[in-house]
Homo-oligomer: A and B are copies of this chain.
Amino acid sequence: MQDNTSWAGFRSQAMVSPASLPLQQRVQATRNAAQRVVQTTPGERAKALSAIATALEERQDQILTANHRDLQAAQAMVEEGKLTAAAYARLKLDPKKLAGMVAGIRDVVTLPDLVGADQWVRQLDEGLILRRRWCPLGVVGVIFESRPDAVTQIVSLALKTANGVLLKGGAEAIHSCTALVEVIHAALTGVGWDPDLVQLLTSREEIREMLGLEGWIDLIIPRGSNAFVRYVQENTRIPVLGHADGICHLYVDASAAPEMAVKLAVDGKVQYPAACNAIETLLIHQDCAPQLLPLLAAALRDKGVSLRGCERTQAIVPMDPATEADWDTEYLDLILSIKVVDSLADAIRHINTHGSRHTEAIVTEDLRAAQQFCQEVDAAGVYHNASTRFADGFRYGFGAEVGISTQKLPPRGPVGIEGLVTYKYLLSGEGHIVADYAAGKPFQHKDLS
């Protein structure tokens, strides 16, 4: 969603106190339901997911009817210029798309089951066993765009990992989301699960309330515009999985292979310009700029890309000038800024200053330059001779993507199902006390797995 402006008004408002909110009680119900799900086996969770998939197939008409209501209202908004054609397309369901959603749920069933598994087991001493065991986060709040397919994607990942989930979709999808959640609730009830495990929030006011529920909600995943993600990050003390900006660079080193540089620049900018992992700025070493810039500019312009260059770039290829602001701008569009740099070190400095720590790439035949770039660039993904567009949970082989994080602490980069779990330490003894070890008894610290 691109409604960057519509969230701006929220920023100046104070955070809501968690006390005495009706939402809090509903979240407590979700927490209670989630606590019971912790005790289910992977097989039982698979059964619940399969029941949801089947119910969606059986009640396809109900879902498409609800979606039709959303589409009618959306159509009017498109005509008034309040909604883009792309947003309308994301909102629209049809039997094929619904079948894809059902297939997606069945794919999640086949992902590895982390919850309940031990990361490692260590014998601290005879009879004193420490386990680090994967467990669910508890309750996850997901705020997403007006796209109904997000509902089944989020719910299946949450249930797979034994979490409760609060869903808040875009207003345009309200009837579709309501119908989907109704079907999911019926399926959960059918297998004996508490439907409170999945709750749909329907008002924007509830987003503000959610953000104040520290201690009741364990993770917030905001999807949507940069402005919205930043609003969420700045207005909650609940951990947030998400990223506000995706200012990615391709650096063309002095020893880059010309054809490869052109190929990676075009893919990085053109293949899907609205993605967060598309490149926004091309950096090029001064030694190869005279030869390569004309090739790069021609190839990019051929694909409809508008170019903005620094002075040295303009001296080689005439184009619009880039201002200082361009180095900090995520265009999400067919626009690319270009800067000639003095050296590899200069490129790294520019990236570490202006990049958003998302994904950065170097194209070079010089392995030492690639190594230095990979070590010194501070980003979740650092690539050598590959397109930044590979930064994606599915392309990384995670089977699912919960979000992309540009924070420095783990989880970082594209986050798969691992982003919905944590661990706890389980220690089992036979009456072991610390006084004995304080008095000199040694630990064994023997890894059992």
The residues of A with any CB-CB pair to B shorter than 8 Å are 35, 38-39, 122, 124, 128, 130, 137-138, 218-219, 239, 257, 259-260, 263-264, 266-267, 271-272, 363, 370, 372, 374-376, 378-387, 389-391, 395-397, 407-410, 412-414, 422-435, 437-438, 443, 445
Could you tell me if A137 and B428 are in contact, using CB atoms closer than 8 angstroms? no
Complex-state Cα separation, A410 to B385, whole angstroms: 33
8 contacts between A and B (CB under 8 A): A38-B375, A38-B376, A130-B396, A271-B438, A380-B425, A383-B426, A390-B434, A391-B425
Complex-state Cα separation, A382 to B124, whole angstroms: 15
Could you tell me if A271 and B390 are in contact, using CB atoms closer than 8 angstroms? no
Minimal beta-carbon separation of A143 from chain B (angstroms): 18
**Chain B residues with CB below 8 A from A363, complex form:** 431
Which residue of the partner chain B has the closest CB to A428? Answer: B384
Complex-state Cα separation, A428 to B390, whole angstroms: 11
**Chain B residues with CB below 8 A from A437, complex form:** 395
Which residue of the partner chain B has the closest CB to A36? Answer: B376
Could you tell me if A263 and B381 are in contact, using CB atoms closer than 8 angstroms? no
Complex-state Cα separation, A414 to B370, whole angstroms: 37
Could you tell me if A385 and B428 are in contact, using CB atoms closer than 8 angstroms? yes
Complex-state Cα separation, A434 to B391, whole angstroms: 10
**Chain B residues with CB below 8 A from A264, complex form:** 431, 433
Could you tell me if B384 and A427 are in contact, using CB atoms closer than 8 angstroms? yes
Minimal beta-carbon separation of A378 from chain B (angstroms): 7
Complex-state Cα separation, A389 to B257, whole angstroms: 60
Could you tell me if B435 and A267 are in contact, using CB atoms closer than 8 angstroms? yes
Complex-state Cα separation, A145 to B391, whole angstroms: 43
**Chain B residues with CB below 8 A from A378, complex form:** 138
Other-chain contact of A431, B257, B374, B375, B434 (Cβ < 8 Å): B257
Could you tell me if A35 and B138 are in contact, using CB atoms closer than 8 angstroms? no
Complex-state Cα separation, A235 to B383, whole angstroms: 36
**Chain B residues with CB below 8 A from A429, complex form:** 383-387, 390
Could you tell me if B386 and A432 are in contact, using CB atoms closer than 8 angstroms? yes
Could you tell me if B379 and A424 are in contact, using CB atoms closer than 8 angstroms? yes
Could you tell me if B382 and A426 are in contact, using CB atoms closer than 8 angstroms? yes
Complex-state Cα separation, A409 to B259, whole angstroms: 44
Complex-state Cα separation, A392 to B412, whole angstroms: 27
**Chain B residues with CB below 8 A from A431, complex form:** 257, 259-260, 263-264, 363, 385-386
Minimal beta-carbon separation of A122 from chain B (angstroms): 6
